[in-house]
Amino acid sequence: MTKRKSETRVYKVIFTNQGQVFEIYAASVAQGEMFGFIEVEQLLFGERSQLIVDSSQERLKTEFAGVKRVFIPMHAVVRIDEVEKCGAARISASESASVVKAFPVPAPVGKGPAH
């Protein structure tokens, strides 16, 4: 199935930040100019067609208000999907017993304090 040029792409980006899992939607995702970062532009938030207001979505709107581009460290990205349409952005608590852990980075030899 091919997309027409007039159709815009929508990406769902899931990443961790300070013990929380963020799920955001954007029209543009690319490897950033800064080494080790994913560049996310044109954040999308679902329309308010429902009577119930999702507090986590409102919190995300406030946090990213006025933000032109978001640079997310690659090691924080859990998943990036191209989806059919924009869903509800949200923040949720990270499971403390998560199976996914940060990859350990060894300290360079000879770069520590002198003994």
Question: pLDDT tens, 41-76?
Answer: 988 876 655 555 567 677 888 888 888 899 999 999
39 vs 2: which has the higher pLDDT: 39
Domain chopping of the chain, boundaries: 13-92
Close Cβ partners of 10 (under 8 Å, ≥ 6 residues apart): 25, 26, 27, 44, 82, 83, 84, 85, 86
State pLDDT tens for residues 16-37.
Answer: 988 889 999 999 999 978 889 9
Model pTM greater than 0.95?
no
pLDDT at position 86 is 86
Residue 58 in 3-state DSSP? helix
